[in-house]
Structure formats: structure tokens, C-alpha cells
């Protein structure tokens, strides 16, 4: 009187359950999109324009040159 219990795990399997697998892939795509967007914004913030640098221009190269 031995009963053999067969567990049917097809509803919990990633490949067999279309609803849970598509939901999982959707959330993966959303997470990756947000991660890349955040990383791109952070990269642009790190390499932002820091302002106009102070450049010493010789007087003889100006539009109206100043000679000695």
C-alpha cells in the first residue's frame, strides 16, 4: 500500500507558467531601464560643465591688438 505522490510543479515553473514569467521579465525590464537611466544621469552629472575657465590671452592676439 505504497502511494506515490507526484508533485505537479508546472504551474510554478518559469518556463511553463506564461503569466508569472512575463510578469518577471516585465519587472526586470523596468528595473534595468531605471538603472540605466539613473546611471546615465549620474554620468552626465559627473562630467558636467564646471563653468567658464579663466584664460590668459596675450594682448597681441586680441581682435584689436595692443602692441608695445
How many Cα neighbours within 13 Å face the side chain of 21?
9
Q: How far apart are CA 26 and CA 37, in angstroms?
A: 16
- Cell (9 digits) for 66: 595692443
pLDDT, tens digit (0-9, with 9 covering 90-100), for 11-53: 666 677 677 788 889 999 999 999 999 999 999 999 999 888 8
Whether 1 has a pLDDT exceeding 70, the answer reads no
Global pTM value:
0.56
Residue spans per domain, the chain = 12-47
Q: How far apart are CA 24 and CA 44, in angstroms?
A: 30
| pLDDT of amino acid 16 | 72
Amino acid at each position: 500500500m505504497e502511494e506515490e505522490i507526484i508533485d505537479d510543479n508546472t504551474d510554478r515553473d518559469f518556463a511553463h507558467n506564461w503569466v508569472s514569467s512575463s510578469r518577471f521579465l516585465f519587472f526586470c525590464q523596468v528595473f534595468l531601464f531605471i538603472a540605466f537611466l539613473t546611471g546615465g544621469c549620474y554620468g552626465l552629472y559627473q562630467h558636467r560643465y564646471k563653468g567658464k575657465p579663466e584664460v590668459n590671452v596675450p594682448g597681441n592676439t586680441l581682435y584689436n591688438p595692443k602692441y608695445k
